[in-house]
């Protein structure tokens, strides 16, 4: 490979000719590798490819956590050989079977999510380098380990925007390789698709990490700040008297130009800027490192998009990328709202007005000549979006677009219902709309009002209604009082967990005295309403778990208040500490959640991080009690985020809708052969309890999810105090939400000290009476019975190569 | 007898194989014929009218109950053999002939499912349908495509009648 690096040089013999080399393929990576040699020892897997993690780690994980396939469809409709009937695991015309095809289908979801984050990272990286230059330092807060995911994957430790480029290029290269395996006639084995999905998940956290660290560094976001400002959220916080600019999506790049324009023209108090989904969270982070007064607002999650448009409040909508509905233009058009597409990934068929004069574009949009426009030039975007909002506000006010439906209109809609039941049949949430309409006909709108919290705003009901009733609008009209009072608080995303916080909490987490980390992430497609996320968070916070959140899950936690009118973000501290509620940021900030677990292994556990995924993940799986919750894991990005957590040994509980991912990773808790690891001190096999018993699973209700997550925080290496604390929480939560004692509690007992303190004597009696264990009652000690032995010095590992003498 | 076979419109899962729509008499016959049956109930069973009928079904046909989701609370004082298990986990274990079952006596040949969100149970049963020989009979109020046999989509009132008829026939 060439030894040339990036830069420029002149050939003197050729007069007046200059050759500029902006990039030599591979040179940046080579230069970065040279630099990494000075940064300490590296593990065996820098710059991994499709097969690198397969045998040494992924297959070990998949041997215990077996892929559980639940197809969405019996057929494969992928190629022109088919469609093929694959039911009962038959093979199609190309030779692939049902398992392989569904492995491919899940894998496709994962690489789609990975591509979204990586492409977002590329977009921001290029844009921010263009604006701030390659030498902008990565100041992310108090941390020596700035980029755990990049470092583990590539061995690199970038310190500037420019030094991120090799990791970005590498991620893109591997994504191309991964995508190629989806082609017909390529990979066919389900287990290999699962291994590739895990690899893609690890890349996803690299892409997310890049996306978030570049915006934190360049856009002055809070930097590992436990006291990041509290931000108003909810549609009820929008001042209806002011022009309202509504942004939707997940790419803060363009929005910063709108904010700059507003600030330069003294407009921050004269109009509302708020948004839905992750752009909304990230705009609340912009320039917040120095704690200026927050003025932007988070409206809500993707499930609120149509609902907000239907309120008529937005005067202009700007969309960027990811998690944006496909029908925003026609819906907005009905209410005279111009739509601006600001990212080449979503252009909606709208005309591009980059080359046109700003005033002419504003006039064109104001007149309604076009329903919207593509504007990719951020300078123009910032000015047009803000000025157009002010222009549109009085026009739309005068035209009556900002008024909600009248009571007479509501009655007319309700009376049209023929009670055919089609809406119930197609509703993804199986809401009892016909029942609510029956009551509404009698004048009781409370049943319709109750549907608001569970409704995800998809409007499938409207699509099948033969009477053309705007059912979504009917529900929202019925819930107008609740909606007007939807006012919560969310902490602006703070970014990564600092090294100091890891050092302070690492021992508690590894020993189990802090019972676990509960990561509430994911999108709004809950099985039982948005408030469920609040209930789950509150339960764990009251029990001194560390609760971290991102994206829409973090928003929904902030939407509800206790009897004193306080949100969770006001009641609990924002630090990574026992009983802390940590809003990490938008969904690309999820990389800092895996990053926190990785830092426990690297900083606290002293493990080599660079190029050492298997060892870091092995440490997390055996020692760090963390469990994710993606309660409404709607999107492909959620699939890739969760799978990235899984490869790092972090289990996740998903909501019932996520069964449609087609795949879970569940261990056989009854098969003792699955529950053995090596003791790294001598290479001997040691028995461990069935913990965690899944890496990816769904729960039916939030009540079921809570004890599942508490149980999933149990780890083989807990000390006795930690095991006792974790068992106390799990057993209490099982009693509260499931009922009675869990059947398998005894499998986690190694010694009497593991038993929950308050119930120790009773439980010892059960061990003796029901399980035949021998108890010395004088000394109150277990004499025999446990299949697993307690040894405080044991070093559980799944990697034989880490054992002494191996 | 209430006709529980009339509305079999598909909802969540698609493909070439669909559940056979049955009436309560066929459901009763299949339950009686099963060698190792298991009644699998979702959290929707906690509606009092359904819980009462589920207990009657379990007692009359001597069925052990897999109380999934957060449904176990409903059965703790009802003198039935109910145990908690997550339904996704259960669906996976049913595909393993070596699973000792909830009572340690081995896997099941027939499951009878009741009161789930239909999209959720459809997904769980798509695994057992394609990767096991376990028969599944859905006696809920919604047509479940991936069951071996299922009631069609019926009203709640019709469902109560159908369950009462099933109880009489067991």
For chain B, domains (ranges, CATH) are 20-169 (3.40.50.1220)
Q: What is the pLDDT of residues A256-300, one digit of tens each?
A: 999 999 999 999 999 999 999 999 999 999 999 988 889 999 999
Q: What is the pTM of this model?
A: 0.95
Longest C-alpha distance within chain A, in Å? 98
Task: Answer yes or no: do B99 and A668 touch at CB < 8 A.
Answer: yes
**Whole-number pLDDT of residue A633:** 86
* Token pair of A404 as six digits: 């909600």
**Whole-number pLDDT of residue A105:** 97
Per CB-CB distance under 8 Å, the chain A contacts of B100 are 670
**Whole-number pLDDT of residue A214:** 98
**Whole-number pLDDT of residue A6:** 55
Q: Which is nearest to A155 in space by CA: A43, A266, A231, A56?
A: A43
**Whole-number pLDDT of residue A14:** 63
The answer, yes or no, to whether residue B107 has pLDDT greater than 70, is yes
**Whole-number pLDDT of residue A582:** 97
At residue A25 the predicted structure's pLDDT band, cuts being 50, 70 and 90, is low
Q: What share of chain A is helix, strand, coil (3-state, %, to 5)?
A: 45, 15, 40
At residue A806 the predicted structure's pLDDT band, cuts being 50, 70 and 90, is confident
* A477-502 average pLDDT score: 94
Angle at A635 between CA A166 and CA A232, to 5 degrees: 90
Q: Tell me the nearest-neighbour CA distance from A71 into chain B, angstroms.
A: 6
- Helix axes A433-441 and A471-478, enclosed angle (nearest 10): 60
Q: What is the pLDDT of residues A441-482, one digit of tens each?
A: 999 999 999 999 899 999 999 999 999 999 999 999 999 999
* Token pair of A551 as six digits: 């994206």
What string of DSSP letters covers A148-216? Answer: HHHHHHHS----BSGGGHHHHHHHHHHHHHHHHTTSTTS---HHHHHHHHHHHHHHHHHHHHHHHHHHH
The answer, yes or no, to whether residue B153 has pLDDT greater than 80, is yes
Q: What is the pLDDT of residues B47-79, one digit of tens each?
A: 999 999 999 999 999 999 999 999 999 999 999
Task: Answer yes or no: do A700 and B117 touch at CB < 8 A.
Answer: yes
Residue B148 contacts A where some CB pair is shorter than 8 Å: no
Run of H or E residues at B126 = helix B118-131
Task: Answer yes or no: do B14 and A703 touch at CB < 8 A.
Answer: no
- Which chain A residue is nearest to residue B128, measuring alpha carbons? A70
- Which chain A residue is nearest to residue B15, measuring alpha carbons? A74
**Whole-number pLDDT of residue A437:** 97
Task: Answer yes or no: do A527 and B98 touch at CB < 8 A.
Answer: no
Q: What is the pLDDT of residues A364-396, one digit of tens each?
A: 999 999 999 999 999 999 999 999 999 999 999
Residue B5 contacts A where some CB pair is shorter than 8 Å: no
Q: What is the dihedral of CA A279, A280, A286, A292, to 10 degrees?
A: 180
At residue A2 the predicted structure's pLDDT band, cuts being 50, 70 and 90, is very low
d(CA A91, CA A76): 10
**Whole-number pLDDT of residue A805:** 81
Run of H or E residues at A309 = helix A305-311
Distance of CA A246 to the CA centre of its chain: 22
Domains identified in chain A and CATH numbers: 57-219 (1.20.1270.30), 230-399 (3.40.50.2030), 407-485 (no CATH), 489-784 (3.40.50.2030)
Mean pLDDT (chain A, rounded): 94
Task: Answer yes or no: do A700 and B14 touch at CB < 8 A.
Answer: no
* A133-161 average pLDDT score: 95
The answer, yes or no, to whether residue B1 has pLDDT greater than 90, is no
At residue A525 the predicted structure's pLDDT band, cuts being 50, 70 and 90, is confident
Burial of residue A732, with CB atoms counted within 10 A of its CB: 0-12 exposed, 13-18 middle, 19 or more buried: middle
Query: Which conformational region is residue A785 in: left (phi greater than 0), alpha (psi within -120 to 50 degrees), or beta?
Result: left
The answer, yes or no, to whether residue B16 has pLDDT greater than 90, is no
What string of DSSP letters covers A346-369? Answer: B-TTPPB-TTS-HHHHHHHHHHTS
Interchain CB contacts (distance < 8 Å): A and B: 135
* A132-147 average pLDDT score: 94
At residue B125 the predicted structure's pLDDT band, cuts being 50, 70 and 90, is very high
Question: Between B16, B100, B120, which is nearest A670 by CB?
Answer: B100
Structure-model confidence comparison of residues B120 and A13, the more confident one: B120
Residue B117 contacts A where some CB pair is shorter than 8 Å: yes
Per CB-CB distance under 8 Å, the chain B contacts of A91 are none
Q: Which is nearest to A518 in space by CA: A535, A504, A530?
A: A535
How many residues can be counted in chain A?
806
SS (H, E, C) A555-596: HHHCCCECCCCCEHHHHCCCCCCCCCEEEEECHHHHHHHHHH
* A2-14 average pLDDT score: 56
Task: Answer yes or no: do A739 and B72 touch at CB < 8 A.
Answer: yes
Structure-model confidence comparison of residues A493 and A7, the more confident one: A493
Question: Between A71, A660, A699, which is nearest B86 by CB?
Answer: A699
Residue A85 contacts B where some CB pair is shorter than 8 Å: yes
Task: Answer yes or no: do A739 and B73 touch at CB < 8 A.
Answer: yes
**Whole-number pLDDT of residue A36:** 64
- Helix axes A591-599 and A636-647, enclosed angle (nearest 10): 10
Contacts of A531 (CB under 8 A, 6+ apart): A453, A556, A559, A560
d(CA A702, CA A655): 8
At residue B12 the predicted structure's pLDDT band, cuts being 50, 70 and 90, is low
Query: Which conformational region is residue A62 in: left (phi greater than 0), alpha (psi within -120 to 50 degrees), or beta?
Result: alpha
* A500-529 average pLDDT score: 89
Residue A426 contacts B where some CB pair is shorter than 8 Å: yes
Other CB atoms within 10 Å distance of the CB of residue A266:
8
State whether the Cα torsion B1-B7-B11-B13 is positive or negative: positive
Question: Between A69, A73, A698, which is nearest B13 by CB?
Answer: A73
Q: Could you give the residue ranges of the DSSP H alpha helices within A403-444? A: 407-415, 422-426, 433-441
d(CA A555, CA A304): 12
**Whole-number pLDDT of residue A10:** 58
The answer, yes or no, to whether residue A9 has pLDDT greater than 60, is no
Q: What is the pLDDT of residues A742-776, one digit of tens each?
A: 999 999 999 999 999 999 999 999 999 999 999 99
At residue A634 the predicted structure's pLDDT band, cuts being 50, 70 and 90, is confident
* Selected residue of A460, A739, A740 to mutate for chain B interface (largest B Cβ count, 10 A): A739
* Token pair of B168 as six digits: 């009489």
Query: Of A202-216, A523-537, B116-130, where does mean pLDDT reach its minimum?
Result: A523-537
Task: Answer yes or no: do A708 and B117 touch at CB < 8 A.
Answer: no
**Whole-number pLDDT of residue B9:** 80
**Whole-number pLDDT of residue A1:** 41
Burial of residue A673, with CB atoms counted within 10 A of its CB: 0-12 exposed, 13-18 middle, 19 or more buried: exposed
d(CA A587, CA A552): 8
């Amino acid at each position: 490979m060439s030894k040339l690096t990036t830069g420029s040089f002149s050939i003197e013999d050729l007069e007046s000719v200059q050759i500029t080399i902006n990039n030599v393929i591979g040179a940046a990576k080579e230069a970065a590798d040279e630099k990494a040699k000075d940064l300490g020892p590296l593990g065996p897997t820098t710059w991994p490819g499709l097969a690198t993690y397969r045998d040494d780690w992924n297959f070990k994980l998949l041997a215990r956590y077996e892929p559980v396939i639940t197809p969405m469809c019996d057929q494969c409709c992928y190629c022109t050989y088919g469609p093929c009937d694959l039911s009962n695991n038959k093979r199609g015309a190309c030779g692939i079977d049902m398992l392989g095809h569904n492995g491919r289908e899940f894998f496709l979801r994962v690489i789609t999510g990975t591509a979204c984050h990586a492409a977002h990272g590329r977009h921001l990286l290029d844009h921010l380098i263009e604006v701030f230059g390659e030498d902008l330092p990565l100041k992310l807060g108090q941390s020596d380990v700035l980029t755990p995911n990049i470092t583990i994957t590539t061995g690199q430790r970038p310190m500037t925007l420019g030094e991120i480029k090799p990791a970005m290029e590498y991620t893109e290269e591997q994504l191309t390789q991964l995508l190629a395996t989806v082609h017909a006639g390529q990979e066919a084995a389900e287990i290999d698709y699962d291994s590739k999905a895990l690899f893609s998940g690890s890349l996803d956290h690299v892409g997310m990490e890049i996306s978030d660290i570049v915006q934190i560094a360049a856009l002055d976001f809070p930097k590992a700040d436990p006291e990041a400002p509290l931000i108003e959220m909810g549609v009820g916080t929008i001042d209806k008297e002011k022009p309202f600019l509504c942004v939707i999506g997940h790419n803060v790049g363009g929005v910063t130009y709108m904010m700059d324009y507003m600030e330069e023209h003294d407009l921050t108090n004269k109009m509302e800027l708020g948004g839905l989904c992750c752009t909304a969270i990230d705009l609340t982070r912009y320039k917040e490192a120095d704690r200026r007064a927050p003025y932007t607002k988070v409206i809500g999650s993707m499930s609120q998009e149509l609902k907000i448009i239907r309120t008529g409040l937005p005067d202009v909508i700007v969309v960027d990328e990811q998690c944006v509905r496909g029908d925003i233009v026609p819906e907005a058009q009905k209410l005279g709202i111009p739509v601006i597409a600001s990212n080449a990934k979503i252009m909606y068929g709208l005309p591009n007005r980059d080359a046109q004069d700003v005033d002419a574009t504003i006039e064109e949009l104001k007149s309604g000549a076009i329903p919207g426009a593509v504007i990719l030039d951020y300078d123009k975007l910032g000015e047009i979006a803000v000025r157009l909002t002010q222009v549109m506000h009085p026009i739309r006010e005068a035209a009556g677009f900002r008024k909600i439906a009248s009571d007479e209109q509501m009655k007319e809609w309700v009376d049209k219902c023929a009670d055919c039941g089609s809406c119930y049949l197609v509703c993804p949430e199986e809401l009892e709309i016909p029942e609510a309409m029956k009551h509404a006909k009698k004048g009781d709108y409370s049943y319709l009002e109750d549907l608001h919290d569970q409704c995800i705003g998809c409007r499938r009901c409207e699509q099948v209604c033969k009477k053309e009733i705007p059912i979504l609008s009917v529900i929202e009209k019925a819930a107008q009082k609740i909606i007007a009072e939807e006012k919560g608080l969310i902490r602006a995303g703070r970014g990564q967990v600092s090294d100091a916080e890891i050092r302070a909490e690492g021992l508690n987490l590894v020993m189990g005295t802090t019972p676990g980390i509960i990561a509430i992430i994911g999108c709004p497609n809950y099985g039982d309403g948005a408030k469920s996320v609040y209930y789950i968070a509150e339960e764990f916070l009251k029990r001194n778990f560390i609760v971290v959140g991102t994206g829409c899950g973090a928003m929904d936690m902030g939407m509800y208040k206790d009897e004193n009118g306080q949100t969770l973000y006001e009641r609990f501290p924002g630090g990574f500490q026992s009983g802390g509620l940590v809003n990490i940021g938008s969904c690309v900030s999820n990389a800092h959640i895996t990053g926190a677990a990785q830092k426990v292994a690297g900083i606290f556990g002293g493990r080599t991080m660079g190029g050492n995924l298997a060892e870091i993940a092995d440490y997390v799986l055996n020692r760090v009690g963390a469990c994710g919750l993606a309660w409404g894991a709607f999107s492909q990005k959620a699939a890739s985020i969760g799978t990235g957590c899984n490869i790092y040994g972090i289990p996740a509980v998903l909501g019932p809708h996520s069964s449609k991912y087609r795949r879970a990773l569940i261990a056989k808790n009854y098969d003792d052969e699955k529950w053995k690891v090596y003791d790294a001190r001598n290479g001997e096999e040691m028995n461990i309890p069935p913990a965690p018993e899944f890496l990816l699973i769904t729960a039916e209700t939030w009540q079921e999810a809570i004890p599942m997550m508490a149980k999933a925080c149990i780890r083989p290496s807990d000390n006795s105090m930690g095991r006792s604390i974790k068992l106390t929480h799990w057993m209490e939560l099982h009693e509260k939400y499931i009922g009675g004692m869990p059947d398998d509690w005894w499998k986690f007992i190694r010694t009497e000290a593991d038993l929950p303190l308050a119930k120790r004597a009773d439980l010892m009696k059960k061990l003796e009476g029901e399980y035949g264990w021998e108890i010395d009652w004088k000394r109150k000690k277990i004499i025999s019975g446990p299949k697993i032995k307690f040894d405080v010095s044991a070093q559980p590992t799944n990697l034989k190569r880490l054992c002494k003498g191996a | 007898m209430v006709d529980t076979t009339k509305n079999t419109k598909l909802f969540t899962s698609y493909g070439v194989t669909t559940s056979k729509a049955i009436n309560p008499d066929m459901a009763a016959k299949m339950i009686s014929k099963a060698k190792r049956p298991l009644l699998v109930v979702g959290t929707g069973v906690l509606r009092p009218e359904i819980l009462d009928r589920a207990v009657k079904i379990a007692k009359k046909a001597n069925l052990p109950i897999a109380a999934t989701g957060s449904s176990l609370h409903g059965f703790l004082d009802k003198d039935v053999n109910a145990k908690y298990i997550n339904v996704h986990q259960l669906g996976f274990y049913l595909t393993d002939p070596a699973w000792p079952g909830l009572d340690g006596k081995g896997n099941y040949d027939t499951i009878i499912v009741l009161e789930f969100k239909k999209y959720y149970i459809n997904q769980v049963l798509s695994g057992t349908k394609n990767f096991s020989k376990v028969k599944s009979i859905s006696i809920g109020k919604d047509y479940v495509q991936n069951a071996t046999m299922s009631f069609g989509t019926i009203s709640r009132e019709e469902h109560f009648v159908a369950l009462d008829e099933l109880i009489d026939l067991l």
